Every structure is written in structure tokens, then in C-alpha cells.
């Protein structure tokens, strides 16, 4: 269970059990805020729904970072583009970069939501883990075209939590190397 929802549930459980313990709730103490990372999927073409689903999967999976669509006119941390090459991510710093939703992998039969979640995983600081099983999101294409699992495993979730719990927000500007899957 994620920390954002734990305290209210614990308070309700203790109250129902007749326990008189003080449990902090959202109104008692400031909630730990996730670092918000925005994305612009305006140029993701036919991959828009897959990108939104990939972001939602990360939001369901971790507490320390939240992916949100950029507001109109807002500069996004992540640009997402469709192209005819292989999917890849170019990170500029933790939580910043460009994701290319490549049609080449899709034409070979790879799942678009898995591709999206995988490439966003790179922006969140995760490396490829090839070869790897389908249960590992970051195994990428090495899991084969039959793998449609778009969810990070426990170690991938923990690594993203650690990445964002320890790293302050950093401005983009240092160019990284592309991660080509």
C-alpha cells in the first residue's frame, strides 16, 4: 500500500477497533508530496492513449514521483514524440528528457503500453535489464513480443522511489546519452 493512502486507512481501522491512538491524517500533518514531473504527449500521434496509460501505471506504482500531463503553454519535463525508428529515451537529468515512441517495435508486434511504461522508466532513472523476464518492465524487448506486462516489478518500483526520495529537483541542461531499446 502506498504512503499517500496509508494513514487515513490506518486511522479508520483503529477507530473501528475502538483503539484510541492518534494517527496523523491529511489534516493533522503535511502530506509528503510527490515530485511532479510533467509530460507533453502532443506529438505522440497514435501512441497518446498508451503514453497516458504508461504514466498512470507509474502513478499507481510509486509515491515519490507523479507524472502529469503538462498544462497548455507549460514547458514539460518530458517530451514524447512518435517516429518511425526504434523506441528510445534520451534523458537530460532525472525526470527530464525525450521519449521516442518508435513505430518499428510496434510493427514487429511489441505492446505500446509496455513500450511507454518502459521508456518512462528510463526517464525515472532506470536502466535496461537485458536479458530479462517479462515480469521485469525494464527487460524491454528481450522479453519478446508476447510480453505485454506494462508494470514495474518490486525492485524497479523501489529504485524509482529511492531515485526521487534522494534526488532534489534538478534543472534540465546536461545532455545524457540516449537509451535505445
Q: Enumerate the active-site residues.
A: 119
Whole-angstrom CA distances from 36 to 17, 39, 159 are 36, 10, 17
Greatest extent of the chain over all pairs of C-alpha atoms, in Å: 61
SS3 104: helix
4, 7, 82, 2: which is closest to 44 by C-alpha? 82
Distance of CA 179 to the CA centre of its chain: 16
Spatial distance between the Cα atoms of 100 and 78, rounded to a whole number of angstroms: 11
Amino acid at each position: 500500500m502506498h504512503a499517500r493512502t496509508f494513514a487515513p486507512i490506518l486511522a479508520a481501522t483503529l477507530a473501528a477497533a475502538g483503539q484510541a491512538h492518534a494517527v496523523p491524517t491529511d489534516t493533522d500533518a503535511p502530506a509528503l508530496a510527490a515530485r511532479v514531473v510533467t509530460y507533453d504527449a502532443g506529438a505522440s500521434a497514435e501512441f497518446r492513449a498508451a503514453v497516458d496509460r504508461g504514466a498512470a501505471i507509474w502513478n499507481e506504482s510509486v509515491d515519490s514521483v507523479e507524472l502529469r500531463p503538462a498544462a497548455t503553454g507549460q514547458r514539460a519535463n518530458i517530451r514524447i514524440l512518435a517516429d518511425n525508428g526504434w523506441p528510445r529515451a534520451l534523458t537530460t537529468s532525472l525526470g527530464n528528457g525525450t521519449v521516442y515512441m518508435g513505430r518499428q517495435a510496434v510493427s514487429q508486434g511489441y505492446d505500446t503500453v509496455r513500450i511507454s511504461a518502459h521508456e518512462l522508466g528510463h526517464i525515472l532513472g532506470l536502466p535496461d535489464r537485458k536479458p530479462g523476464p517479462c515480469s521485469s518492465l525494464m527487460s524491454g524487448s528481450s522479453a519478446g513480443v508476447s510480453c505485454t506486462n506494462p508494470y514495474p516489478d518490486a525492485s524497479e518500483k523501489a529504485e524509482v522511489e529511492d531515485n526521487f526520495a534522494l534526488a532534489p529537483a534538478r534543472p534540465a541542461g546536461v545532455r545524457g546519452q540516449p537509451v535505445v531499446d
